[in-house]
Each structure stands twice: as C-alpha cells, then as structure tokens.
Amino acid sequence: MQYKFLAILLGSMTAASLAISLPVRAAELKVARTFHPGFWQPVARINPHKPLEVEVINQTNIPLQYSLTTDTAKTLLPGNMTNISYISAPTDVLIYPSRQEASLKYDVTKAGNTTIVKVRQIASDTPGDGSIAINRNGAVYVY
C-alpha cells in the first residue's frame, strides 16, 4: 500500500507537528487497462442504501415529460427544475419531449445522493438520450 503525506499548516504551527499519514491505494488513482468508454459505463454512482433523489433541470426551449416508469408523466416547462424523491433502486427515469420531435442530451452529475440531470436539446438528426437507469448497486446509466 502506498502512503502519501499531507502536511497542514495552521498559523505558526510547523508542518512536522501536524503531518497526517493518509493511505492511498494505487488502484484508486488510475483507470483500469481494460476500461473501454461507452454507454455501458456508469456516468455516476450513488449509495442505494440511502434515500436518493433525481433532480431534472430543463435547459431546452421546449416542455419535457418526465416520470419514473411506475408513475404517470408530468410536465417540466423550459427553464424549470424538479426533484423526484422517495426513489428506491433499481429504477428508471424517463425524460422526453412533450409534443414535438427533438433529440435530448443528458448531462449527469451528482451531489451527495442526488443525481442531477441537466437536459439540453441537440440537433434533431442526432439520436438523443431517453432514460436514466439506476441499478441496485447504485450505478447510474444514460440510455
């Protein structure tokens, strides 16, 4: 196991008096040689054993429909955002244009145990994203 040392200076204290040893595994610092990017790789990970939410932000100029696969669809107007709460993994979240044909792109991040989905419109001749899947292990995928 490799160790990195972190020295923190506070005021007039010396670094030697506050040196803290932090174990860092070499595997945590690099991507596996067998890694191949693609849709099969998760875009984020959440803790499936804690309460989770999905926040959807509509950055398009068109109304969107969104829902869990087990619910009825709701409308999200342009420029607005919504939170989908009380979700348990595994689950699927559908996000799609309300009336017109449009291709959508999801930019996914996370904050704590909240998956944040910023939805933007892309060229209509480009296949877009249609759903977010969160599996039972907490991996978040875009399809």
For position 83, which CATH number holds?
A: 2.60.40
> What pLDDT is recorded for position 129?
87
Question: Given a cut of 90, is residue 81 above it in pLDDT?
Answer: yes
> What pLDDT is recorded for position 17?
44
- Give the range of the structural domain holding residue 65, as residue numbers without chain letter: 44-142
Nearest to 65 by CA among 95, 104, 85, 105: 95
* Assessment of whether the complete model's pTM goes beyond 0.75: no
Name the band, by pLDDT with cuts 50, 70 and 90, for residue 141. Answer: very high
> What pLDDT is recorded for position 31?
60
Does residue 38 belong to any structural domain of this protein? no
Contact 54, 132 (CB under 8 A): yes
**Do residue 95 and residue 48 come from a single domain?**
yes
DSSP category for residue 79: T
